[in-house]
Amino acid sequence: MFQRVFPKWALAFVVLIGTFLWGSVASAYPWMIRHEYTGCSQCHVDPAGAGLLTLYGRAQSEVLLRTHYGTQEGEENPELGGFMFGLVKLPEQGVRAQVDGRTLLLHTKPPNAPAVNRLIIMQADAQAGVELEHWRASASVGYIHEGAQAASITRGDNDRLISRQYWVGGSFGKDDEFMVRGGRMNLPYGLRMYEHTLWVRSATKTDINDGQQHGVSFAYTGEKARAEIMAVAGNFQMRPDDVRERGYSAYGELVLSPRATVGVSSMILHTDYDLVERESSFRQAHGIFARASPAKPVVILAEADWLIKNPKSSVMQTGPAAMLQVDVEPVQGVHVMATGELLDQTFARTAPSYGAWLSSQWFFLPHVDVRVDAIWQSMDSTSRIEVVSLLGQLHVFL
């Protein structure tokens, strides 16, 4: 099939570069557990995290995220974290708004080819939401030059409008700990991470870039545990209907201490026409994940998943995807991260692929951060190939 036309190493490289060209969504920082935030619903309109911030989340982004250059504790002005730097006041109960812009400078060296240098608009999104007593809703719209095809609302290869998510939900329970939502949402699975190109996110297709699906979800957020299960009806922004996936995705996370959690994830989806296999297929992922902060400057994030893909008339593909990340914040707002990852989707038939990231991120002004990643990946195909990439990102949100 596809692999008969292109050599495996070329296909692997195209997939790798493609992941860097797709935009990303901000504000998914599981390392906030160093500040004893074991859940996400306080800071995000989405109870599972990422995307549009609540008023409380905006205030904490100013107090806890950025460098304050010598100010003493308690002197920070949380109003700077507000919409448009606090110049536009949003009601405590009512409308939420956010605008995100992100650019990427990419330098990568493919095997036996000249280096690639590109300046890419990764994100130009506007988000709005509502928080009214027991009701929440959120929607986003944005522009992208290339990539993020699964989030497109206009057709074409370039210069499209996209919408990553839109949903409405209602909460109930003594402390509004339960929520039912419907719409296009992030799949509840694993660590909701900013690094959407890590293999645990890209191989499971649970990234927050364009991996969202339509469906209905039921979520619980308590002091000692949180969980969500979603009945997946498919991505209705993709055509035709045969390519849409249907099934379920779910996670549950147990709070072991104010700075340690452990969780499990499970997903089974079916499509009538898999775009790679060109036939009906099931895909599954089942795994565990953990977050821990043994000392406040240090956060350890880990996830391990077992992947299963079962095309109707082809050999079953199975194998692990895993990552381990250590985040150190020596000074508030300055992060240094080391990440290792592994992927083997054809277990026992090829050797695993490995990756290593060395990253730094600095939240140096209100609403502004800069990040640099040096990434090495060694992938197995007909022969082993190695790719080194350097990424620089500037992110601003209002």
The per-residue pLDDT for 71 is: 62
Domain 2-397 bears CATH identifier 3.90.1150.10: no
Query: How large is the greatest C-alpha to C-alpha distance in the chain, in angstroms?
Result: 65
Q: Which residues contact 103 (CB under 8 A, 6 or more apart)?
A: 119, 120, 121, 122, 393, 394
List per-residue pLDDT tens for the chain, 398 residues long. Answer: 333 333 444 434 444 444 444 344 444 688 889 988 887 777 788 877 788 888 888 888 888 888 988 765 545 666 777 788 778 887 877 888 899 999 989 898 777 778 888 888 888 999 999 888 889 999 999 999 888 888 899 988 888 999 999 999 999 999 889 999 999 999 999 998 878 889 999 999 999 888 999 999 999 999 899 999 999 999 999 989 999 999 999 999 999 999 999 999 999 999 999 988 899 999 999 999 999 999 999 999 999 999 999 999 888 889 999 999 999 999 999 999 999 999 997 765 678 899 999 999 999 998 899 999 999 999 876 678 888 999 999 999 88
The sign of the CA dihedral 4, 5, 10, 12 is negative
The per-residue pLDDT for 12 is: 41
The per-residue pLDDT for 2 is: 32
Alpha-carbon distance of 38 to 25, in angstroms, equals 20
Which tokens go with 116? 């690639």
Q: In this structure, what is the dihedral angle of CA atoms 125, 104, 298, 259, given to the nearest 10 degrees?
A: 20
**CA 243 to each of CA 18, 230, 280, 338, 365: distance values in angstroms, whole numbers, following the listed order:** 20, 19, 9, 37, 43
Alpha-carbon distance of 171 to 335, in angstroms, equals 35
The per-residue pLDDT for 364 is: 93
The per-residue pLDDT for 357 is: 96
Q: How much helix, strand and coil, in percent to the nearest 5, is found in the chain?
A: 15, 50, 35
The per-residue pLDDT for 73 is: 52
Domain residue ranges of the chain, discontinuous segments joined by +? 2-397
The per-residue pLDDT for 3 is: 35
Q: How many CB atoms lie within 10 A of CB 53?
A: 25
